[in-house]
Amino acid sequence: MHNPGGPDYYPTWRDLDNKPGSGLYYPKIQDLHLGVGLGVLMVILRYLLEIFVIIPMGHKLGVRRKKHVYVEPYEKLEAVYGKKSKMDGDAIHALSKQLDLSTRQIEVWFRKKRKNDAPVPIKKFCDNTWLFLFYSCSFIYGINVMWSKPWLWKTKECWYDWPVQPVTDDVFWYYQLEVAFYWGSLFTLFTDHKRKDFIVMTLHDLSTLALLYFSWMVNLVRIGTLVLVIHDAADPWLSLAKMGIYLHNKTLADLTFIVFALLWFTTRCFLFPYLVILWTCLEIFAQVFAFIDEPFFVYYFLNAFLLVIQLLNIMWTFSVVKIMYNIITKGEVFSLVSSAL
């Protein structure tokens, strides 16, 4: 860690006060209030795109429209379905005696009800098209921002002069863009189609948002930008693979998933743990704690959230490996990508 004030100088949080005319800007937590407002605007933009662009495009490209089937109204069955949409044979048999209906009638009723309640294919197509557009734009912008930054190529630069590290305009807006997206994701949590990993995905979004706020508050923005650009690299390809599924384009789905898997293993299983987490655990001691008697909450808080995100990455990696195994052994990816990820 470079010591700008000489051997007896120790940086303090007061050094991050913004001085008019200095040409330097240091992060303030209130900056991210803008991200909440941008998140609302992003949700509005998303719905406008869905209505006027994505839905018409999806129908034109062959995304099938949902056909509702008639389900006879049974108040008692509705009450049971509201608590549990799938029932085993014993439960159906007991319900049959209670309602004076055959087990076959109850099975058919539940099957039709689940079919009607399943997400509309065009809804899934819209959700993944939006994710594809955002992640593509975010990654392209992030790489453009980061390419000239020394800490992209040498992680020690993340700690030089910390916490006295001014933030440039491009990094400022990169953070705002990401904060807005994750706020928007929380705003639409219950309107998006519900994935099987809903809880895990929600935990991921909350952890990422907390990490964004924390890293901005204590000016660990450089390491934050590395985390963002690494995690955005693979995501557009997964969304594109899912779009291929809803378009019934097996070639598009298969090829883009393979690209996604290669990028996933490179970024989430190698670059993130070995170039980010390892160095936030070790490198920070040599660069920062040489001037501090012992690690403090910044160290533990930062690494705790990074490890939570990596744990979630590992959980998803098992799903990726499962799909890759089926590609190699059975040639099956078309039906698995949508349900497993």
Lowest mean pLDDT among 14-18, 261-265, 271-275: 14-18
For residue 62, which of 11, 125, 155 has the smallest C-alpha distance?
Answer: 125
**Residue 236 predicted with pLDDT over 50:** yes
Radius of gyration of the chain (CA): 25
* 319 Cβ contact list (under 8 Å, min separation 6): 340, 341
Q: What is the pLDDT of residue 183?
A: 96
DSSP string covering 231-288:
HHTTHHHHHHHHHHHHTT-HHHHHHHHHHHHHHHHHIIIIIIIIIIIHHHHTHHHHHT
Per-residue pLDDT at 9 exceeds 60: no
Q: Whole-angstrom distance between the N-terminal and C-terminal Cα of the chain?
A: 41
For residues 101-108, give the mean pLDDT: 81
Asked whether the beta carbons of 312 and 286 are under 8 A apart, the reply is: no
pLDDT of residue 1: 47
How much of the chain, in percent, has pLDDT values that exceed 90? 45
pLDDT higher than 90, residue 338: no
pLDDT band at 234 (very low <50, low <70, confident <90, very high): very high
pLDDT at 6 over 50: no
- In which band, very low, low, confident or very high, does the pLDDT at 128 lie, cut at 50, 70 and 90? very high
Q: Mean pLDDT over residues 316-328, rounded?
A: 85
pLDDT at 330 over 60: yes
For the stretch 154-185, what's the b/e string if a residue is b when 16 or more beta carbons lie within 10 angstroms of its beta carbon? ebeebbbebbbbbbeebbbebbbbbbbbbbbb
What single letter denotes the amino acid at residue 319? S
Higher pLDDT residue, 207 or 180?
A: 180
Q: What is the mean pLDDT of the chain?
A: 84
Name the pLDDT band for 335 (thresholds 50, 70, 90). low
Confidence label for 262 from pLDDT (cuts 50, 70 and 90): very high
Q: What is the pLDDT of residues 24-73, one digit of tens each?
A: 999 998 999 999 999 999 999 999 999 999 999 999 998 877 666 667 77
* Two structure tokens written together for 69: 């089937």
Specify the pLDDT at position 213. Answer: 95
The amino acid present at 199, given as its one-letter code, is: I
Q: Residue 8: pLDDT above 70?
A: no
Mean pLDDT of 270-281: 89
Which tokens belong to 158? 């993340």
Residue 12, C-beta contacts closer than 8 angstroms, at least 6 positions apart: none
pLDDT(185) > 50: yes
DSSP per residue, 23-51: ------GGGGHHHHHHHHHHHHHHHHHII
Q: Is the distance from CB of 123 to CB of 193 less than 8 angstroms?
A: yes
Identify the weakest region by mean pLDDT among 44-58, 93-107, 308-322: 93-107
- Give the separation between CA 289 and CA 295, rounded to whole angstroms: 7
The pLDDT of residue 284 is above 70: no
How much of the chain, in percent, has pLDDT values that exceed 70? 84
Q: Which domains does the chain have, with CATH numbers?
A: 21-61+120-340 (no CATH), 75-117 (1.10.10)
Within 8 A by CB and 6+ apart from 258, the residues are 327
Amino acid occupying residue 119: P
User: Per-residue pLDDT averaged across 282-306, rounded?
Assistant: 70
The whole-number pLDDT of residue 326 equals: 79
Work out the burial of residue 300: count CB atoms within 10 Å of its CB; fewer than 13 is exposed, 13-18 middle, 19 or more buried. exposed
Q: How confident is the model at residue 275 (pLDDT cuts 50, 70, 90)?
A: confident
